[in-house]
Amino acid sequence: MNQHTLSMRLERVAAQVPIGARLADIGSDHGYLPVALMRRGAIAAAVAGEVALTPFHSAQRTVRENGLQLHISVRLASGLAAIEPQDAITAISICGMGGETIRDILQSGKTRLSGQERLILQPNGGEQPLRQWLMENGYRILCEELLQENRFYYEIIVAERGAAVTYSAEQLYFGPLQMQTRSPVFLAKWQRMLRQKQRMLTELARAQQTVPEHKVQEIAQQARWISELLG
Ligand code: SAM
């Protein structure tokens, strides 16, 4: 993967960035996503935010080597602190981190959100708490994608502020749109998850040390939801 050829995962994220957007890519690492989009003429400008020094330097290098310093600002900052009002950002991508980390970035940077931005989020696990945050903060999920690359499943959640929407506990767990579509990859993911949950429950039943009862009940509830979903 590089700034010319994105991974399938980042390619699917790129497809959700509106043409002509002013993009903030938070946790940009190497900066491949904003650089690839800028090279394709798909976005007008970008901010690449990074909290760690090594990836920050890596993003700076990618931008410099592509002669895009006038169009992409690389900033060393935590989360949405990379965004300034004058950037007039219209889309924010936060990809390749746990869902809880993405939620915390959104929560602690709330004052930097105008409410007009499209959020393109690619959590690695922790989708449920992330969807919960979106619902509680007035976001509607517009699109959800699930893809498998190598052995891993990746979710992409696209959300915008809109009329208030309430998702059920199951919708927050599985994804409201994915539950409707029931794609083959979605069903395969949850078949695998069901096997994992059942294994966990068997191991917990055998475990010597006591595991909090609410934890066991939570896993049992999830296993029931998955069984119902798969019919
Ligand atoms: N977004 C790229 C992708 O999806 O391929 C890189 C993902 S990489 C696994 C996660 C990056 O997020 C790391 O470079 C890390 O330094 C950065 N990161 C983690 N927490 C962050 C935060 N609070 N603010 C900005 N960057 C953060």
Q: At residue 209, does pLDDT exceed 80?
A: no
CB-defined site of ligand 1, < 6 Å: 10, 26-29, 49-52, 55, 78-79, 95-97, 101, 105
59 domain residue, yes or no: yes
Per-residue model confidence (pLDDT) at position 88: 97
* pLDDT tens-digit map of 98-132: 999 999 999 999 999 999 999 999 999 999 999 99
116 domain residue, yes or no: yes
Per-residue model confidence (pLDDT) at position 198: 95
Query: Is residue 31 located within the same domain as residue 89?
Result: yes
Q: At residue 1, does pLDDT exceed 80?
A: no
Give 204 Cα–ligand 1 centroid separation in angstroms: 33
Give 75 Cα–ligand 1 centroid separation in angstroms: 13
Give 59 Cα–ligand 1 centroid separation in angstroms: 11
Give 98 Cα–ligand 1 centroid separation in angstroms: 10
User: What's the number of domains the chain is made of?
Assistant: 2
Strands (E), the chain: 21-26, 43-50, 72-76, 91-97, 118-123, 139-149, 152-161
Please choose, from the candidates 55, 102, 97, 93, the residue with its C-alpha nearest in 3D space to the C-alpha of residue 76. Answer: 55
Average pLDDT over every residue of 14-34: 98
Query: Is residue 18 located within the same domain as residue 94?
Result: yes
Per-residue model confidence (pLDDT) at position 210: 78
Which atom of ligand 1 is nearest to 49's Cα?
25
Minimal-distance CA residue to ligand 1 atom 6: 29
Query: Is residue 92 located within the same domain as residue 152?
Result: yes
Query: Is residue 156 located within the same domain as residue 200?
Result: no
Mutation test residue for ligand 1: of 8, 10, 17, 26, the one with most atoms within 8 Å of CB? 26
Query: Is residue 113 located within the same domain as residue 221?
Result: no
Query: Is residue 66 located within the same domain as residue 137?
Result: yes
171 domain residue, yes or no: no
* pLDDT tens-digit map of 153-162: 999 999 999 9
Give 191 Cα–ligand 1 centroid separation in angstroms: 29
Query: Is residue 25 located within the same domain as residue 122?
Result: yes
Q: At residue 4, does pLDDT exceed 90?
A: no
Which range among 86-95, 124-133, 212-221 shows the weakest confidence by mean pLDDT? 212-221
Q: At residue 197, does pLDDT exceed 80?
A: yes
Minimal-distance CA residue to ligand 1 atom 16: 52
174 domain residue, yes or no: no
63 domain residue, yes or no: yes
196: confidence class by pLDDT, cuts 50, 70, 90: very high
Give 29 Cα–ligand 1 centroid separation in angstroms: 6
Structural domain harbouring 207: 186-230
Q: Measured between alpha carbons, how far is 224 from 163 in angstroms, rounded to an integer?
A: 31
SS3 15: coil
Which range among 32-41, 78-87, 197-206 shows the weakest confidence by mean pLDDT? 197-206
Q: Measured between alpha carbons, how far is 163 from 66 in angstroms, rounded to an integer?
A: 41
Structure tokens at 2: 């590089």
Query: Is residue 156 located within the same domain as residue 199?
Result: no
Query: Is residue 143 located within the same domain as residue 216?
Result: no
Minimal-distance CA residue to ligand 1 atom 2: 28
Which atom of ligand 1 is nearest to 96's Cα?
4
Query: Is residue 152 located within the same domain as residue 209?
Result: no
Query: Is residue 85 located within the same domain as residue 15?
Result: yes
196 domain residue, yes or no: yes
Mutation test residue for ligand 1: of 9, 11, 28, 104, the one with most atoms within 8 Å of CB? 28
1 domain residue, yes or no: no
* CATH for 115: 3.40.50.150
Per-residue model confidence (pLDDT) at position 208: 66
Per-residue model confidence (pLDDT) at position 126: 96
pLDDT-above-90 percentage for the chain: 89
Average pLDDT over every residue of 61-88: 98
215 domain residue, yes or no: yes
Query: Is residue 147 located within the same domain as residue 33?
Result: yes
